[in-house]
Structure 1
Amino acid sequence: MSKKDLALPKYQMVKDYVLSQIENQEFTMDHRIPSESEFSKLLDVSSITVRKALSELVNEGVIYRVRGKGSFVASQAAVSEKTSNLVAFVISGVDLYDSSYMQIMRGIQSFLGKHGCKLIVEFVENDFEQERELVLGLIQTELRGLLIYSSDPDAAKSYLGEIRSKSIPFVMLDRSPSGYPVNVVTCNNHDGAYEAVEYLIKQGHRKIGFAAYDYHLSPEVDRYNGYCNAMSNSSVPIQDSFLFLDKKLDYVALARLVQNGELTALFCANDKRALEALEQLTALGIRIPDQLSLMGFDDFESAKFAKVALSTVKQYFDVLGYESADLLFRITEGSSYGNKKVMLPTSLVIRDSIKPVQG
């Protein structure tokens, strides 16, 4: 090896080796080149170095990848033929009328449009078996990758293994299965909830409740933990009667707590629950925010137009979509290693549903 070779970055040495083998016709068109591990042993470099070199060669149109088979020498035409430009987005168990999901899709489209890819959107409404069948059908087609917003991420483990067995890149949005490593993009649920509850405490509230909506989902667990930590770190006790973790909330019992002065504020795990609470409690004669301060999470479009404009934690759904597509591309191009959990920032939005404690 010459001194000139030693001066080169190691990944460039790998690239030069592949290019020289192609030039000498040792590697011919559609010829399978060595694997990452084979290159590592052959050239005495790390697998990360090889991966970087091969990713650049893919981007330059020198080689192409076939899922589950390896990397091959290609002309530019062969690359365009063999690399799918389709990305599928599966949205399951959502309220389709809410604009947040349109914002997510707009973010995904914004990224894909810059990279010449098309988006297939598949909606599934509250039917996990249908979600599973849909995903298993999609992975039989030629896809660049898969974006998944699952209604039940823990149950989704039953098909995630199938996706992996076919070497199809995928990214989960917003929520992920417990105890199962995946690539996921979500907002910083814990810290967003912490900031919201901390704000309520600074407004003089000490009797603060928590109301879940789908407590089995990871974002709501993170938001609950943010609520608990904010209360604990301010030495504010949490009573069991303050916690409403079931899907069906007993509003009569909740109203009784408010009327008796036992509860002055309620942090809801999402805007759906907060807006429902606003309607139900108002119907029971509770005045918001005079008797109860109310905080949501998400900042749905409808939150600002409620009969009492809702204070909430804003997450940026368009950024969620964009960053999910970006991560998917980094995986397909080999520039992202290992499973990533990307957490996006939130911001506190204060409107009319919160009032400081008097006295």
Structure 2
Amino acid sequence: MGKNDSISPKYQQVKDYVLTQIENNALGKDGRIPSESEFSQLLDVSSITVRKALNELVNEGVIYRVRGKGSFVSNRGTAADAATRYVTFIISGNELYDSSYLQITKGVQSFLSQQGCKLIIEFVENNFEQERELIMKLIQSETRGLLIYSVNPNAAKTYLHEIRKKSIPFVMLDRIPSGFPVDCITCNNNDGAYEAVAHLIAHGHRNIGFAAYDFYLSAEAERYNGYQRAMQDASLVPNDETLFFRRELDYDKLIAAIKNGELTALFCVNDRRALEIIERLTQEGIRIPEEISIMGFDDFESSKFAKVPLSTVRQNFEALGYEGARLLFELGGDAVRCHKKILLSTSLVIRESIKEL
């Protein structure tokens, strides 16, 4: 027998056995599937093989898991029926038509369309209470899983516990709660910020400030750590007077630092902050980049069209959505496992807001 004529993989044999039992009505709707150990003895296969087969059946919607009780036949019964199930993407943000949200959604949809799974988008305008109420409502209904872009991931821990009790797979996008392990996709914030600040240093800047936006977010804290690390590696000590952590930025203080020569470059935690600063400083007569260089993070679509085209760190929002959806399908409802944190690479984009000293 040639290699191409070999029998199907053992995990496929397990899948075929379960599907045959369902089709023959040996396992009715909500019928309990044998455990891993029972399958191992019945079909003479390893527990790892059984686990792979059952995970695929969960992903396909044929069976579902209940924490502490086992695996059961889905109410929909077959993979074809289960393919109509939904993934819900919850976005808590500033504007639904923000280009970054649209790119993330495009990535999510790109993956789900390959799985025959439909996407529901729920948008909440930067309001955590509405976000929490929406999540609590969603977990009472049938859903393939949740993708969550939270306005306040630390506060989200309250409802994340409830999602886990329901054994609903979920993945956090971009923003992660501290001290609470979750499956998540984010860009490499730390290294991206390091590369941006190192570029400023390499081009002669020594007095480099930092401007946050929502500093309670994990992504912003990671970018600040990258900023600090780049400064330390260059034996530079940040001036506390040029570190801006509040949403309401002190422009009088910022402008004074620029005019006094205490600040020649400013690393902004995101493009939203950077574009706001460019707009305000130009109104105040500050020339960019002649008097101060500005660096952002994200590479919004509008950044290249700003009054002064913005130098920034680009993250791939479409890949964020695609990989987030793919991770959601990999989870399979397995309760006993380690959580995954996947970091996506970034790249530096240099435009006209940076001047070499």
TM-score with structure 2 setting the length: 0.88
Matched-pair contact (CA < 8 Å) for 2:172–2:183: yes
Give the residue type in structure 1 aligned to 2:114.
K
How far residue 45 of structure 1 moved from its aligned partner, in angstroms, is 7.4
The residue number in structure 1 matching 2:323 is 323
Residues 53-110 of structure 1, C-alpha deviations (whole Å, 9 max, x = no match): 323455789x522555643468996344456520101101333342111111111111
Query: 2-side partners of 1:159 and 1:266: how far apart?
Result: 37
The residue number in structure 1 matching 2:224 is 224
How far residue 11 of structure 1 moved from its aligned partner, in angstroms, is 5.5
The residue number in structure 2 matching 1:89 is 89
Give the residue type in structure 2 aligned to 1:110.
S
How far residue 334 of structure 1 moved from its aligned partner, in angstroms, is 5.8
Structure 1 71/262 Cα, relative in aligned 2: closer, same or farther at 3 Å? Answer: same
Helix, strand or coil: the match of 2:178? coil
Runs of 4+ in 1 over 6 A off after TM superposition: 40-46
Residues 1:102 and 2:109 aligned together? no
The residue number in structure 2 matching 1:266 is 266
How far residue 12 of structure 1 moved from its aligned partner, in angstroms, is 4.2
Matched-pair contact (CA < 8 Å) for 2:55–2:332: no
Query: 2-side partners of 1:233 and 1:281: how far apart?
Result: 30
Helix, strand or coil: the match of 1:176? coil
Matched-pair contact (CA < 8 Å) for 1:51–1:335: no
Query: 2-side partners of 1:200 and 1:319: how far apart?
Result: 27
Query: 1-side partners of 2:131 and 2:175: how far apart?
Result: 15
The residue number in structure 1 matching 2:162 is 162
Query: 1-side partners of 2:120 and 2:309: how far apart?
Result: 35
Give the residue type in structure 2 aligned to 1:306.
A
Structure 1: gaps of 5 or more residues: 1-7
How far residue 48 of structure 1 moved from its aligned partner, in angstroms, is 3.9
The residue number in structure 1 matching 2:151 is 151
Structure 2: gaps of 5 or more residues: 1-6
Query: 1-side partners of 2:337 and 2:13: how far apart?
Result: 18
Percent of aligned positions that are identical: 59
Residues 236-255 of structure 1, C-alpha deviations (whole Å, 9 max, x = no match): 11121121111111111111
Q: How does 1:25-44 map to 2 (within 5 A)?
A: 28-30=27-29, 31-36=31-36, 39=39
Query: 1-side partners of 2:231 and 2:43: how far apart?
Result: 56
Residues 209-228 of structure 1, C-alpha deviations (whole Å, 9 max, x = no match): 00000100000000000000
Structure 1 135/84 Cα, relative in aligned 2: closer, same or farther at 3 Å? Answer: farther
Query: 1-side partners of 2:247 and 2:40: how far apart?
Result: 53
Moved more, 106-115 or 83-92: 83-92
Structure 1 190/26 Cα, relative in aligned 2: closer, same or farther at 3 Å? Answer: same
Query: 2-side partners of 1:342 and 1:19: how far apart?
Result: 32
How far residue 282 of structure 1 moved from its aligned partner, in angstroms, is 1.5
The residue number in structure 2 matching 1:338 is 338
Helix, strand or coil: the match of 1:214? coil
How far residue 14 of structure 1 moved from its aligned partner, in angstroms, is 7.9
Query: 2-side partners of 1:295 and 1:60: how far apart?
Result: 44
Residues 1:135 and 2:149 aligned together? no
Matched-pair contact (CA < 8 Å) for 1:145–1:332: no
Matched-pair contact (CA < 8 Å) for 1:310–1:351: yes
The residue number in structure 2 matching 1:192 is 192
Moved more, 47-56 or 258-267: 47-56
How far residue 27 of structure 1 moved from its aligned partner, in angstroms, is 5.2
The residue number in structure 1 matching 2:113 is 113
Helix, strand or coil: the match of 1:342? strand
Query: 2-side partners of 1:58 and 1:215: how far apart?
Result: 38
The residue number in structure 2 matching 1:3 is none
The residue number in structure 2 matching 1:15 is 14
Query: Aligned pair count?
Result: 349
TM-score with structure 1 setting the length: 0.87
How far residue 332 of structure 1 moved from its aligned partner, in angstroms, is 3.0
Query: 2-side partners of 1:354 and 1:329: how far apart?
Result: 42
The residue number in structure 2 matching 1:353 is 353
Query: 2-side partners of 1:342 and 1:94: how far apart?
Result: 25
Query: 2-side partners of 1:105 and 1:116: how far apart?
Result: 16
